[in-house]
Amino acid sequence: MKKWLMRAALAALVAGGAPAWSEEPIKVGMVLEASGPFADIGRQLLNGARAYMKVHGDTVAGRRIELVVRDTTGAAPDVAKRHAQQLLVNDKVDFLAGFGLTPNALAVAPLATAAKTPMIIMNAATSIITVKSPYIARVSFTLAQVTAPLATWAYRNGIKEAYTLVADYGPGLDAEAMFKKTFEAAGGKIVGEVRTPLRNPDFAPFLQRIKDAKPQAVFIFVPSGEQPVAFMKGFAERGLDKAGIRLIATGDVTEDGVIEAMGDTPLGVVTAHQYSVAHESAQNKAFLKAFAEIDSAHRPNFMAVAAWDGMAAIYEVVRRLNGRMDGDKAMDVLKGLKIDSPRGPIMIDAETRDVVQTVYYRKVQKVGGKLYNVEFDKVENVKDPAK
């Protein structure tokens, strides 16, 4: 090191704090689904995080923030675990983040605990996830959180009998259980239930079974991306809409990222969820503008928003710790943290480390010739009812 440089460094240290230029960046290890059948999820998460960094800069408290991205290639717990281990041991990441799919998040939870490293869940939405490590904080949602209000709405709005169709894994089972519990408590009746495989589902036989049962309505949850598009196609092809079977769903099914690929089938479908591109607020306007600068080819969806908010949480932690990272202190900042999100106000519950937020009722409508989830009512401050 040159003499003057050494002197400057020493002076900075004596002045109380390492000079910013000598420090390693703060690393955020993003474990996400960047290829394979769930690549839409990885794209949304990564671009949401990038959009946040583009607007807010990549330096916080004098330290550069760096994303280190790893691809799970799908629902692959072993791959997720291997990536997380390498991120923690080799890259020495300060945060783990991302996690589109529940099995990947569950596989990594014990590693976050062992390394005392905060793990920010930007999508995976099975209730149990946050229980699996005290270092997990979730900024996305839970299926139970959005399904309970929908079931209440359905009964109040004339649906007395419903069939359920869910993906056969964590979030689907949560959605099925919460729909049944809330709908039956209100006085409704479940007339049939099916679970579809997470990998390569062929919806045709399930849809035929539902059509033959002639239920008043069908409630569905399948993970966002390719599956809702395939489901909608089958729903129309098999004529369930023409048979007068009403469709209600969590917002995963009519999500903004793919709704334009669904034709007119989803028109009129009522869903409950936490984010719509059509949400009117200054924060959402700013988010949409930032996202378009990163990815002008797709609409952002609720996952991109959660990644944006996850980065907001990470930036706030770094700011409050003045750039000196410590897993336990980071968790103390995350507990009770409030964020002014593009979806509306959210908070990370201090006790459960799970997200508390507004759940909106939305109806698919055409605005300017394009399909949108138009909000028509809401329930504020919804906690995960499964906790």
DSSP structure class, residue 25: P
- The kind and range of the H/E element at 303 are helix 302-320
Instruction: Return the number of the residue (53 or 109) whose C-beta is nearest ligand PHB.
Output: 109
Work out whether 252 is an interface residue with ligand PHB (CB under 6 A).
Answer: yes
Closest to 196 (Cα-Cα) out of 162, 229, 228, 165: 165
Work out whether 227 is an interface residue with ligand PHB (CB under 6 A).
Answer: no
Q: Looking at 51, 122, 125, 307, which residue binds ligand PHB (CB under 6 A)? A: 125
CA–CA gap between residue 327 and residue 318 (Å, rounded)? 11
# residues near ligand PHB by CB under 6 A? 11
Give least dist CB 272 to ligand PHB, A.
13
Could you list the beta-strand ranges (E) of the chain: 26-32, 59-60, 63-71, 95-98, 119-121, 136-138, 161-167, 189-196, 217-221, 246-250, 270-273, 338-341, 344-348, 355-367, 370-382
Instruction: Return the number of the residue (215 or 223) whose C-beta is nearest ligand PHB.
Output: 223
Q: Indicate the pairing of strand 189-196 with strand 217-221.
A: unpaired
Work out whether 224 is an interface residue with ligand PHB (CB under 6 A).
Answer: yes
Give least dist CB 323 to ligand PHB, A.
32
Say if CB 260 and CB 277 are below 8 A apart.
no
Q: Looking at 39, 45, 60, 124, which residue binds ligand PHB (CB under 6 A)? A: 124
Q: Which of residues 3-42 bind ligand PHB (CB under 6 A)?
A: none
Work out whether 265 is an interface residue with ligand PHB (CB under 6 A).
Answer: no
Instruction: Return the number of the residue (100 or 234) whose C-beta is nearest ligand PHB.
Output: 100
**Would you say the C-alpha torsion 122, 126, 127, 133 has a positive or negative sign?**
negative
CA–CA gap between residue 353 and residue 57 (Å, rounded)? 27
Give least dist CB 127 to ligand PHB, A.
10
Q: Indicate the pairing of strand 344-348 with strand 338-341.
A: antiparallel
Give least dist CB 170 to ligand PHB, A.
6
Site string for ligand PHB, 97-116 (x = CB under 6 A): ---xxx--------------
Instruction: Return the number of the residue (188 or 342) whose C-beta is nearest ligand PHB.
Output: 342
Chain residues that interact with ligand PHB, rule: CB under 6 A: 100-102, 123-126, 171, 223-224, 252
